């Protein structure tokens, strides 16, 4: 097995024993990028000079016999919505095409303390608005399992590069499912931690009450290692919560004996692909065979989650994206007539169709005469959705559902129908409203060969039970060990 196929924990042991160097590992990743990136198109910016410098610094620590952190020398890809000092950060938007942040996001500062290696910035739906990574201003990312299908979104690039072994792990962001859904469609592990568990400082905002950074990894052990590195209270982010950060690796126990797993009937209703339903039911039954007990539960307000999300998230986006006006940074239209003309033309030319659609939706929902009818009502429904979960977690420890209602669909299949695209997130938005931690783990493959994800949810700040459940499942199955065979596409895509 080549170095780029190994996990973080396997590579850490090799680096520690000095069987390999971080520079060799980094070079193997760039060799893999040269091989598959023309087909996958997961990266927007590569930082090879910086990466080799960071790898060389990590090697000095290993050679001196220092006790190095688990992510030292590990090549990590970063979603292009996370600020990286002096490295282009575009949000996959024309309006930020040449933006180089003057500071690092808190998660980047934490990775630097670990001596991690940044490989580059990954493609995404523009400003994280989308479920397929087809809304990027620059390129469409392709699913490594089938290059004619989407990788999910909005963190499709971050999921695809881990699936393609052109990164060892990556960071994404999840607003309504943007880590969990692409993780499911690309056959990797993806986790959205509890809202407030990880600092959002330096995460370019889409919907501030929903956005959360999280990892994509090849297995659950790696997920715990990345969480250890990036979690914690941050004085620069007032929404980060001051709760103790445990050593998440201590949760990696191969035992679900006595765990109560809730199976919500609303998640197995009409619209769920039959093969997906079968694979997810099999995964839940596997957990029962391993000692967990199952209980059917009801989350009665689930049907309102998508409608609620597409009022609250665009409303927050309309406020957050008002700063992109061509005055201080980013794209500016050429030769405007006056200030108002500059605002209009800059935003018309700089934003893509989906971003404009959501800004208009959000502005309408917040406008005079409509705020009570839409935005405030949506906030009340959000509270009801959270109350459903609160009541459920009085009876069960974990909730198990499909991550996505279907496997990956063909590129272009849903771009003309925004509503169908929005329904891709029907399984993931409810937990986002409630601020819950959620993880998607591979649980099998449909007949066409595309992966399917099992979503697990726990109460806020109980990532330990989440990791324990997911780890036990992976210790007793082999779905996460499969790798896609990526065809070379010279010129076709």
- Is position 199 annotated as part of the catalytic site? no
The distance from CA 382 to its chain's CA centroid, rounded to whole angstroms, is 22
Set 178, 199, 240, 404: catalytic member: 178
Could you tell me if 154 and 128 are in contact, meaning their C-beta atoms sit under 8 angstroms apart?
yes
- The separation between CA 444 and the C-alpha centre of its own chain, rounded to angstroms, equals 20
DSSP 127: G
**Three-state SS for 40?**
helix
Residue 228 contacts by C-beta under 8 Å, 6 or more apart in sequence? 70, 245, 247, 248, 249
56: Cβ contacts below 8 Å, ≥ 6 apart? 22, 23
For the question of residue 28 being annotated catalytic, the response is no
**What string of DSSP letters covers 201-253?**
TTB--S-TTT-EEEEEESSHHHHHHHHHHH-S--TT-TTS-------GGGG--
**What's the CA gap between 482 and 484, in Å, rounded?**
7
Query: Which residue among 28, 131, 136, 154 is the active-site one?
Result: 154
Q: Is residue 121 annotated as part of the catalytic site, yes or no?
A: no
- For residues 339 and 341, give the distance between their C-alpha atoms in angstroms, rounded to a whole number: 5
d(CA 385, CA 11): 41
Instruction: Give the length of the chain.
Output: 493
Q: Please report the sign of the dihedral spanned by the C-alpha atoms of residue 196, residue 198, residue 204, residue 207.
A: negative
Catalytic residue among 28, 39, 41, 79: 79
Token pair recorded at residue 38: 């023309």
- As a dihedral over the C-alpha atoms of residue 93, residue 82, residue 378, residue 269, rounded to 10 degrees, the angle is 90
Say which DSSP state 376 is in. Answer: I
Query: Residue 137's closest CA among 322, 323, 324?
Result: 324
User: What positions carry a catalytic annotation?
Assistant: 79, 154, 178
């Amino acid at each position: 097995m080549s170095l780029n196929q190994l996990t973080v924990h396997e590579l850490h042991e090799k680096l520690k024993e000095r069987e390999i160097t971080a520079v060799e590992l980094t070079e193997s990743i760039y060799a893999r990028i040269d091989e598959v990136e023309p087909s996958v198109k997961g990266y927007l910016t590569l930082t090879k000079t910086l990466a080799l410098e960071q790898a060389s610094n990590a090697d000095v620590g290993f050679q001196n016999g220092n006790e190095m952190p688990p992510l030292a020398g590990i090549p990590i890809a970063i979603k292009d919505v996370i600020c990286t000092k002096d490295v282009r950060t575009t949000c996959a938007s024309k309006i930020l095409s040449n933006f180089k942040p003057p500071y690092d996001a808190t998660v980047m500062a934490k990775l630097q303390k670990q001596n991690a290696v940044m490989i580059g910035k990954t493609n995404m739906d523009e400003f994280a608005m989308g479920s397929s990574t087809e809304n990027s201003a620059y390129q469409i990312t392709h699913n490594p399992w089938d290059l004619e299908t989407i990788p999910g979104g909005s963190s499709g690039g971050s999921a695809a590069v881990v699936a393609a072994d052109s990164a060892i792990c990556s960071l994404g962001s999840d607003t309504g499912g943007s880590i969990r859904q692409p993780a499911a469609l690309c056959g990797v592990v993806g986790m959205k931690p509890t809202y407030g568990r990880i600092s959002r400082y330096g995460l370019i905002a889409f919907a501030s009450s929903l956005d959360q950074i999280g990892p994509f990894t090849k297995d659950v052990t790696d997920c715990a290692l990345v969480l250890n590195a990036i979690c914690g209270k941050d004085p620069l982010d007032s929404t980060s919560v001051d709760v103790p950060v445990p050593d998440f690796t201590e949760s990696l126990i191969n035992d679900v004996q006595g765990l109560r797993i809730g199976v919500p009937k609303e998640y197995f209703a009409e619209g769920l692909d039959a093969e997906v339903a079968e694979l997810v039911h099999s995964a839940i039954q596997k957990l029962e065979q391993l000692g967990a007990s199952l209980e059917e539960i009801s989350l009665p307000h689930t049907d309102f989650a998508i409608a609620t999300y597409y009022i609250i998230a665009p409303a927050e986006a309309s406020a957050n994206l008002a700063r992109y006006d061509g005055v201080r940074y980013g794209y500016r239209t050429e030769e405007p007539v006056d200030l108002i003309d500059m605002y209009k033309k800059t935003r018309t030319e700089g934003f893509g169709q989906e971003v404009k659609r959501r800004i208009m939706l959000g502005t309408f929902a917040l406008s005079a005469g409509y705020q009570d009818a839409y935005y405030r009502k949506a906030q009340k429904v959000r509270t009801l959705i959270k109350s459903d979960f609160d009541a459920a977690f009085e009876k069960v420890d974990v909730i198990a559902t499909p991550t996505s209602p279907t496997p990956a669909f063909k590129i272009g299949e849903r771009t003309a129908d925004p509503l169908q695209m929005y329904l891709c997130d029907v399984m993931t938005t409810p937990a986002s409203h409630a601020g819950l931690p959620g993880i998607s783990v591979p649980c099998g493959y449909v007949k066409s060969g595309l992966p399917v994800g099992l979503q697990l949810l726990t109460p806020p700040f109980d990532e330990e039970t989440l990791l324990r459940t997911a780890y036990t499942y992976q210790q007793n199955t082999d779905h996460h060990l499969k790798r896609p065979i990526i065809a070379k596409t010279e010129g076709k895509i």
